[in-house]
Every structure is written in structure tokens, then in C-alpha cells.
Amino acid sequence: MVSSVIDWEKRNMRQFEWRKPGRTAYSVLVAEVLLRRTTSKAVSGVYSEFLHRYPDVISLAKAEPKDLLGLLSRIGLQGQRLRGIQELATYLLHEHGGKIWGEYEKLREIPHVGRYTANAVLSFGFGKSSPIVDSNVTRILRRVFASEIRDSRRERLFWAIAEKLVPVYAHECFNWGLLDIGATICTYRTPHCEACPLVAVCDTGLKMSVHVQKTSSSKHNTPSGAGKCCRTLGG
């Protein structure tokens, strides 16, 4: 599964400014904060300008609220984002002199930094192998291991699976691969199993393939409109 994700991602990785070489823990943290509850497309429109205006924690902590609001209004929830960014930057400035530490426990002490964001900063910003689990990754894991997962509501279970899967090397590519597969192929409403690199090892994908084959063969033996197979996917 790991090699399939990495190989696919090398050919299909979505291109965003926050993924380019030269990224830092700060630039990754900014991206993750901006990406919450909005789209990558929306963030792409402000990300470079944001970093140009506020290239480090110190400049961000000293930013004028009205100037920040002007930028944040272009991606929505600007009031909520403003408070979160100000609290985050102020904490880093006063408690750590503007430095971001590459330790999970230290990252979790930062206001508004949860498990996902902390691990994303470790993987993408510090180059440390760390699993990431968001709604896209959860959906993939739930479908791939459908026959083994009894309670799909247990968030800790998906984190445990992701932790076992994430490789020591190429973890960035693997993590981005899961995010991109979830965003473009293993989507919530209409998954494209025929194009998925995990279909051969996916419990749900294999079941879908069987249904498709049965439906296809039944069309040759039943009247028009009969023998249609209803396909459903969990999550």
C-alpha cells in the first residue's frame, strides 16, 4: 500500500506553494492554519502574499489586525482566523522567542495546534516521519480496511493505522499522496475506484469491482433495466 501511494503521488502530486522545496516549519504552520475549513484554491490566492508580508513569527505577532483581516477576508472566517493567528504568534514570540520547535509535545502547546497540524509541521516542515489523519485520510483507511474495522468512529484507530503505515523515508510524499487520493479519487460521494492506486488492496474497491463485473455480465442475460446493481460505500 505504501509504495502504491508514493508511486502514484510522484506522478500526480497537486502543486501548491506550501509544498515547494525550501519550505520551513513556519511556512508549513501558516499553510495549515489557513487551510482549515476552506479550500486549497482559496488559500493559494493569499498564501504567497501572506508570507511576503509576514515572513516569520515576529512580523506576524506584530501585524496590524486590520491588515491581517484584509488578507484573511479573502478565504473566509476572518474573525476566527485572526484570533487564532494572533494567539498562536503571540505565544510563540513570548514563550519561545519566535522559534518553532521540532518536537511533538512542544508543538501541541501552541494555541490552536492540534494533533494533525503538529504532525503536518513535523513531516513537511522538519522532515520527521509523522502520520497525518484528516477526513480524507480517514475515509481512505476506512474503505481500504473495511473488513477489519468494526467501529469506524474511533479516531484513535485511524491514527494507529496511519502510524504503522507512514514510512521513515518519503513520508512527505506518502502523506501528500493520501491527501491527494482522498481529494481527487477516493472522494466522499463518488469515488473513482477504477483510477485508484489502492484498488487491489482495498476491501471496498474489490467489492466494487465484483459488483461491476456482475452487473456487466448480467446485462447480457437479462432484459433491459433488469439486474442492475446498487453500489454503496461507507463514509
Domain boundaries along the sequence of the chain: 2-184
The pLDDT tens digits for 169-181 are 999 999 999 999 9
Decide: 65 and 86 in contact? Cβ < 8 Å: yes
Task: Answer yes or no: is pLDDT of 217 > 90.
Answer: no
Mean pLDDT of the chain: 88
Annotate 50-88 with DSSP letters as a single string.
HHHH--SHHHHHT--HHHHHHHHTTTS-HHHHHHHHHHH
Query: Are 125 and 25 within 8 A, CB to CB?
Result: yes
pLDDT band at 153 (very low <50, low <70, confident <90, very high): confident
The span from the CA of 223 to the CA of 220, in Å, is: 8
Where residue 110 falls among pLDDT bands split at 50, 70, 90?
very high
Res. 11: pLDDT tops 80: yes
Whole-number Å distance between alpha carbons of 214 and 229? 8
Q: Residue 234: what pLDDT?
A: 33
**Superfamily (CATH H level) for 2-184:** Hypothetical protein; domain 2 (1.10.340.30)
* Distant-in-sequence, close-in-space partners of 9: CB < 8 Å, separation ≥ 6: 173, 174, 176, 177, 180, 181
- So what's the pLDDT on residue 150? 76
Q: How far apart are CA 43 and CA 39, in angstroms?
A: 6
Tens-digit pLDDT profile for residues 187-212 = 999 899 999 999 999 998 887 655 44
215: pLDDT strictly greater than 60: no
Comparing CA positions, the residue from 20, 68, 74 lying closest to residue 43 is 74
Q: For the stretch 17-38, what's the b/e string if a residue is b when 16 or more beta carbons lie within 10 angstroms of its beta carbon?
A: ebeeeebbbbbbbbbbbbbbee
DSSP letter at 122? I
pTM of the model: 0.86
- Please check whether residue 232 is in contact with residue 190, taking contact to mean a CB–CB distance below 8 angstroms: no
The pLDDT of residue 232 is 29
